[in-house]
């Protein structure tokens, strides 16, 4: 466009040449205006595409951030749930270690005293223990007098006892007591979570 002559080569033009020059200049002006409109339309399309791309990128970024937040939140919840179980297991391990240092007769006597609270005071109860623990347990519970009969039962394992009334029976072994404590600490825990103490 810039190589076209800016004016006729002669000073005097015939009417038809003058009309051609005028038509040429009008055509050039129309072409420039059309080029400007096309450039403006292209710029508008570029701006619109950029805005749409930014909006799409923002939406995608927000989706990814929401997914990352959900995953992180789940990982934190899983970690805290595991930590809660670990803390309960630690507490039970300490309790097992401390209680495990007591001899069977002392441990059974303490468990019996604790379990007596679940029965009405006026009830006469029966405590069954292994024959080799009978004398030691009777001695430790002698202050309960007529409320409790302590009897031998060959079917019980070492460290186990059973406290019974006519209506109910309670196992008094360490494992059962710790399992009850675990259920209280972690209501949804499985019963197999604790190992039995070594005898």
Which residues neighbour 85 within 8 Å (Cβ) at sequence distance 6 or greater?
186, 189
Tokens for 107?
A: 């441990």
Closest CA to 183 of 171, 192, 191: 191
Give Cβ neighbours of residue 194 (< 8 Å, ≥ 6 apart).
89, 92, 96, 175, 178, 179, 182
Residue 22 has pLDDT above 50, yes or no: yes
Q: Does the structure show a pLDDT above 70 at 118?
A: no
Residue 48: is its pLDDT beyond 90? yes
Domain 104-186 bears CATH identifier 3.30.2320.30: yes
- Mean pLDDT score, 149-163: 86
Mean pLDDT of 49-65: 92
Determine the pLDDT at residue 189: 61
pLDDT at 59 over 80: yes
Alpha-carbon gap, residue 118 to 126, rounded angstroms? 14
Q: What pLDDT does residue 122 have? A: 61
pLDDT at 74: 93
Does residue 193 carry a pLDDT above 50? no
CB 172 within 8 A of CB 71: no
User: Whole-prediction pTM value?
Assistant: 0.42
Q: What is the arithmetic mean of pLDDT over 163-190?
A: 72
| Whole-number pLDDT of residue 171 | 79
Most confident range, picked from 52-66, 124-138, 153-167: 52-66
Pair 152, 129: CB distance under 8 Å: yes
What one-character DSSP code corresponds to residue 189?
-
């Amino acid at each position: 466009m810039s190589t076209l002559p800016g004016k006729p080569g002669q000073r005097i033009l015939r009417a038809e040449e003058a009309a051609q020059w005028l038509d040429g200049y009008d055509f050039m002006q129309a072409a420039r205006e059309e080029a400007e409109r096309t450039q403006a339309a292209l710029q508008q399309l570029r701006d619109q595409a950029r805005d749409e791309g930014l909006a799409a990128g923002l939406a995608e970024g927000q989706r990814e951030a929401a997914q990352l937040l959900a995953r992180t939140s789940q990982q934190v919840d899983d970690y805290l749930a595991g930590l809660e179980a670990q803390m309960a297991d630690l507490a039970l391990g300490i309790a097992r270690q401390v209680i495990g240092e007591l001899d069977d007769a002392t441990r059974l006597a303490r468990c019996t005293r604790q379990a007596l609270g679940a029965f009405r005071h006026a009830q006469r109860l029966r405590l069954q223990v292994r024959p080799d623990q009978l004398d030691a347990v009777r001695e430790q519970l002698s202050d309960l007098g007529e409320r409790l009969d302590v009897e031998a039962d060959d079917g019980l394992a070492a460290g186990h006892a059973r406290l019974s009334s006519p209506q109910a029976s309670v196992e008094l072994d360490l494992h059962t007591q710790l399992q009850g404590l675990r259920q209280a600490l972690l209501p949804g825990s499985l019963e197999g979570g604790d190992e039995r103490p070594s005898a």
